[in-house]
Structure 1
Amino acid sequence: MASSVERTNDLVREYLIYRGFTSTLKHLDSEIKVDKKKGFRVDKIIDQLQQLIQNYDLTGLKDYWGYLEGRLFSRLEDIYRPTVNKLWTSLYRLYIIHTDYLKNPEKTQEFFQKQALELQGQVEWHDWFVLPFVPVPEQNPNFLPYFSRQWADTFLVSLHNFLSVLFQCMHIQTLLLPRHHICLL
């Protein structure tokens, strides 16, 4: 998939050069540098998500996931909605663990303040609202698994695999055309 995108980019560049649209070519190159889809390279998408978490950029994380949701996940068949939701939940949890693990309680509390309305009705989040008040959450049985490097690595591999399969099943035209459902099987 990435090679298709790169070939398409090269063709567009060639056309712009042929037509003499040098300023448009400059804009294309600058847009490609900040491309949210990262040229459909899963490793770059994962890196971007991790960077947003490391920078405590909750708004950026939500916006980027929203972009992936609108451009990719919304095209999937409904049977994949629970998987996408679980990945989103795990991404939020990775963010929270990062804020708490580095002992940044302000960012942990900010997360729950900003996300309270969205998450309070979801059963999988009920136990998590007490996290800011647990003295040593990495020793609490409810949170212990999430503070392990193994959990974070497993989640990131799962997300990577999901995106890889998604991109392998999609064609470049699929992403450019109006929405239709994609089956990953």
Structure 2
Amino acid sequence: MKLLISPASPFVRKARLLIREAGLTDRVQEVEVSTTPLATDTSVMAANPIGKIPALLRGDGPAIYDSRVITRYLDALAGGKFYPEARIWEVLTLEATADGIMDAAVNLTYEGRFRTPEMQSAAWMDAQWGKASRGVSAINERWMSHLSGPLDISHMAVACALSYLDLRHDARGWRAGNDALAAWHASFSERASMVATKPG
């Protein structure tokens, strides 16, 4: 199998984390592509008509895409450890919260990177940060007990979301008022999978 990636993408990183945590590195080849919202790589477009990464090319079926689909598929191949049925709705909800933070943060990045200054909307950018900030606060206030439990995909998603905020929006200071989550993230960032997938 081949995973189409761009290392800075938090959605890609989530899939890369699961590959390492699930012991699938010998089964999935990571192929780096250069793609943007305005210039989609042809291999990405062939795999995913929406033109987004990650996309997983399989030898025994059509390509699959969307990070949540890919991680669920790969986890199933590895035995289903990281989507535990006993707490599946909590896991999926926390993963969705983290993905929402990523989505807002990526939109904020794109506004600054791909729209000319005169076209950028400060109000829209503030609204995107508001979504990300509320998500971070909700995790800090409601989900720390879950993050203290056995490793699952939601831990990986949260770590990728917070690390992306550090990468692209560090000046906005997500840690303020979120001490428990900041401490958790510092510890989680030391995992071998996090170190191996840190954008250069």
Query: What is the TM-score normalised by the length of structure 1?
Result: 0.32
Decide which structure has greater strand share: 2
Instruction: Pick 1 or 2: higher relative contact order, CA cutoff 8 A, min separation 6.
Output: 1
Query: What is the TM-score normalised by the length of structure 2?
Result: 0.30
Decide which structure has greater helix share: 1
